[in-house]
A and B are shown apart, each in its own frame.
Chain A
Amino acid sequence: MNDTEDTAPSNELGEIGLVSYADFVSREPFTFENGRIIPEFSLRYETYGHLNEARSNVILINHALTADHHCAGIHSLQDRKPGWWNNMIGPGKPIDTNRFFVVCSNCLGGCQGSTGPTSINPETGKLYQLEFPFVSIRDMVRAQKRLVDHLGVSKLYAVVGGSMGGMQVLQWGIEFPDFVGRLLPMATTSQQGSQAIAFNEVGRQAIMQDPEWLQGNYAEDGGPKVGLAIARMMAHITYLSDKGMDMKFGRRRRNEDINTVFSFDVDFEVESYLRYQGQSFINRFDANTYLYFTRALDYFDLKGQYGSLEKAFEDLKSKVLVVGFTSDWLFPPEGNREIVLAMLRAGKDASYAEIAMDFGHDSFLVESPDLYKLVRAFFSDD
């Protein structure tokens, strides 16, 4: 009975530091799931750590709806914030760049450097905008496969991701069963539920009802900024939790003077926070990509696509750990458990662990010693 509780990190925690991105261009035509073909595409990606000689230490990170390829490190010393999963990825961190070669790319259809609605259609010389083919989670994964092939990798050690990233992780295991050693999806679902579709639809309507949307044909410096900001504000609420928001903002007000004249201006801290989230979002995200990606989420339905979840996971060969978060009401623990139960019924090697955290859906992005220990444990059994 000698099993020590935790894996001591082999190295001191460190930072990746300065990183830069690269662009992979695939000159081969790409056929989308809906049949449309584009002559070529590019994916913007970053890598951290070193590829070992056997090329067996690659971990692919899949990003969520509005994140990108920049998941760790900083681009310049002036950066206010590091990459979106910097707490998870780095030297001595749970996804240890001393051990692993980490790859993360911006999804196909994205707006952070990969080909998407904001790219120029080489066939017309104009922006794709809504001419861009409808992109599915499976399309994102198939595009990533080309990147990974290009990097000379014949098998991934693991694919990791939360939320929409978790969907891609599942799709990786289904689409390329021999290519993936381990799957680590978090805070995700095998089927976008009605509530999640409903929230996405409100976000899309906010964008599409904005007069500046112009049926998607807005100029590069224009666009439905008000609609996109509102979509983001609302979506952001679904990433948090009642308790989490109360802890963070409570009823705190900017103007504590009780005699302040009643007004509709920003007063509560939470309003100020959401407005800030909305404003900063419009500077970095494209409204059409938001429409495409939320639609990719809505149509994600492994049960519907394969007949049953057991069928979907029939060919799976990877070792799986699914992680759910207690306060996640967007993709609740239940849906995460369902994935594991179906895999087990299909005779696969799948484990389920749940992290008790108050930060809602975004818990997987927040510092959590419990999650770190779990990720280390999953990557330390061989």
Chain B
Amino acid sequence: MKRASEKRSVDMQIILDWVEPGSRILDLGCGRGVMLEFLKQKKSIIGMGVDLDPSKIRAGVKKGLTVYQGDLEAFMGSFPDSFFDRILCSRTLPELSHPSKIIHEALRVGRHLTIGFVNHGYWKNRLGMLFEGGRFINEVYPNQWHDSRPTNPVSIKEFEYFCSKEGISISQKVYLSGDWKTPCRIVPNFSAGYALYDLAR
């Protein structure tokens, strides 16, 4: 999984740049708390994470992080408007059950929403379907369809259309190439492997 974690480090670095020091941050689908721990160390954030997986929550507890085992929608519903400076939704987007509802809720409880996702419109993903007749299996998504959680793939084009339709402003965005490192500016929906957005109401 070396390449996967290397890929990960670039998007973490970008998010780090967007984060205000000492701000209050909620990580939706925090996993083992790698991102929270990183931001805590680098920017002294007040961070908390939500996840459904008990073993991941335990890993967060072990790191001394503030973590909550449960449903992220119900969790956000327990907080007043603008309670958080920023909500992080990195890699979790395609697994959300009601993306629209959750994005709006995140923009209610958070002043900023950072979303990062794998661009399904990336050319290799298109070729995979065209030539292989199936999805790519790689380091980041090593499982076949029958061994993975339900996902709801989304492309850059679809996501940006959603934002403009819903009146969500994109204050910053970064497209990364297939290596998830090199910035990519031309025809992003075709050539970007990963996209990161900083959203606000």
Interface assignment of A265: CB less than 8 Å from any CB of chain B: no
Interface assignment of B23: CB less than 8 Å from any CB of chain A: no
| Contact of B61 (CB < 8 Å), options: A340, A370, A377 | A377
> Which of B57, B63, B69, B79 is packed against the most chain A CB atoms within 10 Å?
B69
| Contact of A351 (CB < 8 Å), options: B1, B55, B61 | B61
Measured between alpha carbons, how far is A374 from B61 in the docked complex, in Å?
8
CB-CB under 8 A for A351 and B70, given A344-B48, A345-B79, A381-B61: no
Q: How many residues of B contact A (CB 8 A)?
A: 28
Interface assignment of B140: CB less than 8 Å from any CB of chain A: no
Measured between alpha carbons, how far is A373 from B60 in the docked complex, in Å?
12
Residues of B within 8 A of A271 (CB): none
Measured between alpha carbons, how far is A190 from B166 in the docked complex, in Å?
40
Interface size class of A (residues with CB under 8 A): 20 to 34
Quick check: which of A40-48, A202-210, A240-248, A353-361 contacts chain B, the rest being far away?
A353-361
Residues of A within 8 A of B48 (CB): 344
CB-CB under 8 A for A341 and B78, given A3-B63, A377-B62: yes
Interface assignment of B64: CB less than 8 Å from any CB of chain A: yes
CB-CB under 8 A for A373 and B69, given A1-B34, A345-B80: no
Residues of B within 8 A of A341 (CB): 75, 78-79
Interface assignment of A107: CB less than 8 Å from any CB of chain B: no
Contact B68 A373 (CB under 8 A): no
CB-CB under 8 A for A352 and B80, given A3-B62, A381-B63: no
Contact A353 B54 (CB under 8 A): yes
Residue in chain A with minimal CB distance to B61 = A377
Measured between alpha carbons, how far is A356 from B68 in the docked complex, in Å?
15
- What's the nearest-Cβ distance from chain B to residue A382, in Å? 7
Measured between alpha carbons, how far is A359 from B156 in the docked complex, in Å?
48
| Contact of B58 (CB < 8 Å), options: A1, A340, A377 | A377
Interface assignment of B120: CB less than 8 Å from any CB of chain A: no
CB-CB under 8 A for A3 and B66, given A321-B61, A370-B54, A377-B58: no
